[in-house]
Structure 1
Amino acid sequence: MKSTEFSSSGLSEGSRVFLADCALIAVENVKVGDILLSADGNTSEVEGIRECIGKSVNVTQLSKHDTERAESMPFGLTEICISENQLLMFSTKQRVKTLKKKEKTIVEVTEVSKNALNGKVSMPRTGSKVFNKNASVTEIKEHIRRKTSESSDGKFRLHCSVKDLESLNKELRIASRLLLCPISLEIPVLEPWLEMFFSEKVTAQQIEAMAWLLGFWIGDGHKRGATFSLHSEDTDVNEMLRNSAALLNMKLTIKRRGDGGFFAVGTLHTLDGSWNKNSPLTTALKDLRFYMNGKRDDKKNVPDFMRTETRTVRECFMAGLIDSDGCSRNDHGTVKVKIPTAFPPIRDGILFIGRSLGLNITVTFEPERQRENFHQSDTWIFHLLLGANKEIFWSILNRCSCERKRSPPIIGPSKALADMPATHHTESTENGFNMMPITFKFSDSGTKRLFDIFLKDASASYITEQQLICFSASHGGGLVESSDIPSESFIAEEKNFCFSCSRAKDSSFEDVPWAVEYTWCSQCRKRYQITGAICLNPKCRKIPSENEIEKMRNKNFSRLCCLECNHGTKLEKRKVQEPVVSKFPERRCHSCSASTTVRWLKLPWDKKSTLRICRSCSHKFNMTNQRCLNSECCKLFGKNELKELVANSLSEIDDQNECLPCPRCQMPTTIKRA
């Protein structure tokens, strides 16, 4: 149905949504009776479509990428054009803040208005309550307990439009996230194919073995077929390759190549000795389109069906890819997995499989350039992080064969292992996935052709190509997933609240190390890691900040007294944390002469050199790729230095192709005026 009326909601022309079988269809081609995929993995039937002209906005995921040098938006960011009134799903974190003013205590807690006026949804707001100086600590904590118990997992989830978010104050808008939906639908493809190939029922171990082999082949496999590039001394990976092949009636032969090095080639043969003929792996690569066009020697490809494969197959595939091309590390307490690739089909596959599993993904782009002894193509570097689905992240790592990837090496001073799964109290959805929160911005996109989708069930949802959760045009909007009014017995239970600040328990809580029957929130935990101080009053247990400890010392240096209840405060004796010192004390950065750094790195332009640069200088060079050509100076230029140098030299040099002099040694640099 067409109309020139302004739309109440809808998606812009060209946007695509998922059908029930996970195929994508343009919104303008959706018809009445079509079955769409919903956020909970079920289906939603289309009851009506309305084509309208309306005001639209661009919703774009925020990033920390440097876009000054990029020709377009960084790869992998979520972006979509929708009606300013289209209902999406957002999450706003509940904020608790305690202030002291003129002998009064003000407690600010995010809450939801009880009544929605003029048909508007109930939006979160900051509520405050003032306690006089005679109020007890117990009374203040009782108030915090009741208010924080109204949220679900410490957050309020909203079905509203981006226009509705304008009513939020600055703090709540910053605390709001757009929710993306992992793909919970599972359509097995690999298992039926294996049963067809072997003409018998296959085991779970065989399915996992083939999924791992496919991921490992995408990374280290040869396009010729069942052959891999290996490290001859990487026994963990080689043994996994051997065992996986054996489960599929293949045997591994490893032969070293080169003179005295570790490079080796592994080949999988069938039990009758053939290489690619009747090979389960090679046949799977062709039939399932891991070859681009289904023919041997074609480009590698990650087929679209992998985003809806079973969770086990997706996890094993990613584990194989990490074993071949990836690495993991615990960088200052943050566990991450790095996977570089120079091939767009593999790049797209890593992104959509990672997103389908609900993982946080960042992408860095390194442009094509000539390095010493080799030419580097355009490279996309992925970092997979825990995000909201920690169990899935750790399940992937645990499926890796390489020990150093299952147990990431620690770089720099590691915080308490907040990322480790053992002590977390997580809450998963019914299908095992949690929504992915992302930061976002929206901007006016003018008047556009929009398409409203009316679903048979007005409260149902559908998913866009970007995995945004959209709701039917007939949906009323409102607050979802807030807790019921807590009972008195719930309020009285200590285990339901933070050991220190008394906010209600959520998925970020961890066990208190010295009192495992209690848990504490992430804020109190991090504050204690910094100060090591806690009030000894069992009714208070306040963990002071560094500024509060300074106030205590100014008030009474000999005995620290809690600012809340005036009881004694225990201060843990700790050694002063010294800066990280290199394992090689005599080493200095070849560019800035720094003697300490979190990590020493090779010279990007000469990997064989024994000289090293600090991480700060490496970051500068990665941003600009500019340096001084004097080997004794070797100054590396950051963005701001480069801009200033070019601006100051515009009037001094006539030849645009001449290299600019280094401001430190006056020798030529790689920077040209042009």
Structure 2
Amino acid sequence: MFEKGTFILMADGHLEDISAIKSNSYVMCEDGTPGRVAYTTKAKQTIYEIVQKTKHRANEGEPGRLDPRRRTVYNRLGFNCSATHKLVLKTPSIPTLENNPRRPNLTVKWRCLEEILTTDGRAITVPKNHHKNFPKTKEGQLQAQNFMRDKRLIWGPDIDYEIQVRDLEYLDASMRVTSTLKCNPVFSGNGILSNFLSGQRHLITPAIVSMAWLLGLWIGDGTTKEPEITVDSVDEKLMESLTVLGRYWGLYPTYKDEKVPLRAKHVRLYYGKGPEERRKTRNLRKNNPFWNTIQNLGFKREIDGEKQVPEFMWHEDIEIREAFLAGLIDSDGYVVKRKENPDVYKVSIQTIYPSVMNAIVHIARSLGISATVTTRSARNEVIEGRRVQCRFTYDCNISGSTPLQNVLSYCRSGHKRKPAPEVVIRDPQYVGFIDRKLREAEVYGIHLDQPRNILLGNKIVVYSCTECCETDAVHITKIKNLKHCVSCPRTGVRYFYRDWTGKSH
């Protein structure tokens, strides 16, 4: 069962607070199919925080003390649930061969699922570490290799298992560290953009995709008063693509140089006939399909007109999400190809808008792309000899292989566009986690016709509630398998050594 405020991804692509979900609603399951909610439950139980392990430290050190906004790790994966809720976990199980010169034998280590008995009499299945010795001879090496091959055939490269939060302490120290949560991509979409533009959902045409790209480009470098986008005039490919893709909707990009021509051109997207016609036949905001889309679908906040990305874009059709993200990368993105792994790309996008930051992270994760957010405080900087006041900035970093490469194939900027991969493999993302006891609070459960894995709003895969979730239980805590360094001269930093033996001391 989950705490109030936990969002569930529904079958139609929108997010719903778990406390507002009713019977006969349909939620999104792990495989993309809908699952019917048979009934819901409510109780008051002790809740635990399951949160992603991260290397972010700005929230703990001096930056967090100087700037309160940096004390938050934005879009950190996690959720709050009861002690009896099942977690969907994965741990590597590839057998290894150790040849220690100090030992007389070869050692094969492997992992497998094993049933154990808890202190309160329940039988649970957890992964366990095992080892077997072989003599250091040619025959022993052959036996060890055959033994490892058999274990790989039985267990595969990874072990998927389910465990209740209260039973996490029954895992060995090494098993606990290597167990990860699953963050799943979303393969279906809501088709809202195509329905608005064409009256038909899930219609993927070059015109619909070009509108998604234009929206992403405007979110990155557009003005909020009129359909105007700032474009780097040196990037000829981008200027040319803006003209070509705009023609699908009767848009004609036009800019007028200042007395001193600048590199950045403020391009207006007029709707009407070609530039050779009279001005009165061309509309800027009136009857402009691009501007109508921005205003009617909520890309401008009604209160102050600030840019925002409506939540329906998080779970649009895959091609629409990719084109929209590509437009953002064309305007504000920086693309790097990793030298250590040439098949993996990394993109950094900077924004000052929380809504845009949230959209980048959610869209990236829904496509099977890893995403993290770092922050920078407001500051004064000198850019090209001018003193500029920079606002609080979100640095969105996304990385991936073929899913991100396919996004970059939609880009139009010359140095950012990449060839489309032959096959796009959208594998789940896996993240380590820690658990913390919080407090007693109201929790809500959703029970499906058949227990299945469902998706939270942040794309984490969780198990639907079962009867065992309806009653509270004690979190049985054993001695932590950690040794803390007491001689560290630095105060406030928790350095410790892990005891990989799995024994409590």
TM-score (norm 2): 0.81
Counterpart of 2:167 in structure 1: which amino acid? D
Instruction: Confirm or deny that 1:436 pairs with 2:429.
Output: yes
Pairwise CA distance, 1:95: 4.0
CA distance in 1, matches of 2:93, 2:439: 33
Alignment map for 1:394-409 (pairs within 5 Å):
394-406=405-417
* Match in the other structure for 2:193: 190
Alignment map for 1:648-659 (pairs within 5 Å):
none
Change in CA separation of 1:20 and 1:261 when aligned onto 2, cut-off 3 Å: closer
1 or 2, which has the higher strand percentage?
2
Q: Is the 8 A contact 1:98 1:105 kept in 2?
A: yes
Change in CA separation of 1:74 and 1:115 when aligned onto 2, cut-off 3 Å: closer
Change in CA separation of 1:460 and 1:475 when aligned onto 2, cut-off 3 Å: farther
Q: Is the 8 A contact 1:89 1:160 kept in 2?
A: yes
Deviation per CA, 1:572-610, whole angstroms, max 9, x where unpaired?
xxxxxxxxxxxxxxxxxxxxxxxxxxxxxxxxxxxxxxx
CA distance in 2, matches of 1:93, 1:258: 64
CA distance in 2, matches of 1:105, 1:32: 58
CA distance in 2, matches of 1:202, 1:226: 25
Pairwise CA distance, 1:136: 4.4
* Match in the other structure for 1:445: 438
CA distance in 2, matches of 1:13, 1:345: 22
CA distance in 2, matches of 1:286, 1:451: 36
* Match in the other structure for 2:305: 298
* Match in the other structure for 2:255: 254
* Match in the other structure for 2:78: 79
Q: Is the 8 A contact 1:105 1:131 kept in 2?
A: yes
CA distance in 1, matches of 2:291, 2:393: 27
CA distance in 2, matches of 1:94, 1:456: 32
* Match in the other structure for 1:141: 145
Deviation per CA, 1:550-585, whole angstroms, max 9, x where unpaired?
xxxxxxxxxxxxxxxxxxxxxxxxxxxxxxxxxxxx
Residue from 145, 153, 159 that aligns with 2:162: 159
CA distance in 2, matches of 1:50, 1:265: 55
Q: Secondary structure at the match of 1:319?
A: helix
* Match in the other structure for 1:322: 329
Change in CA separation of 1:257 and 1:263 when aligned onto 2, cut-off 3 Å: farther
Q: Secondary structure at the match of 1:183?
A: coil
Listed as ranges, the gaps of 5+ residues in structure 2 are 274-281, 470-488, 493-505
Pairwise CA distance, 1:203: 6.5
Deviation per CA, 1:46-98, whole angstroms, max 9, x where unpaired?
22333223232111111111222324331111232111221121111124332
Deviation per CA, 1:229-250, whole angstroms, max 9, x where unpaired?
1111210111111111012222
Counterpart of 1:367 in structure 2: which amino acid? S
State how many pairs are aligned: 444
Q: 203-212 vs 311-320, which deviates more?
A: 203-212
* Match in the other structure for 1:307: 314
Q: Secondary structure at the match of 1:299?
A: coil
Q: Is the 8 A contact 2:204 2:319 kept in 1?
A: no
* Match in the other structure for 1:93: 92
Instruction: Give the percent of matched residue pairs that are identical in Structure 1 and Structure 2.
Output: 23
Pairwise CA distance, 1:443: 0.8
* Match in the other structure for 1:554: none
Deviation per CA, 1:235-270, whole angstroms, max 9, x where unpaired?
011111111101222222233336244121212222
Query: Over aligned residue pairs, what C-alpha RMSD do you find?
Result: 2.9
Instruction: Confirm or deny that 1:364 pairs with 2:374.
Output: yes
* Match in the other structure for 1:374: 388
TM-score (norm 1): 0.61
Q: Is the 8 A contact 1:51 1:449 kept in 2?
A: yes
Residue from 434, 444, 448 that aligns with 1:455: 448
Q: Is the 8 A contact 2:188 2:318 kept in 1?
A: no
Counterpart of 1:236 in structure 2: which amino acid? K
Q: Is the 8 A contact 1:46 1:454 kept in 2?
A: yes
Counterpart of 1:474 in structure 2: which amino acid? T
Pairwise CA distance, 1:280: 1.5
Q: Is the 8 A contact 1:240 1:401 kept in 2?
A: yes
Pairwise CA distance, 1:331: 4.3
Q: Is the 8 A contact 2:52 2:78 kept in 1?
A: yes
Alignment map for 1:118-517 (pairs within 5 Å):
120-134=123-137, 135-152=139-156, 154-196=157-199, 204-257=205-258, 259-272=260-273, 273-293=282-302, 298-333=305-340, 335-372=345-382, 373-386=387-400, 390-406=401-417, 428=425, 433-457=426-450, 459-474=451-466
Deviation per CA, 1:273-308, whole angstroms, max 9, x where unpaired?
222221121111111111122x9x821110111112
Q: Which has the larger radius of gyration?
A: 1
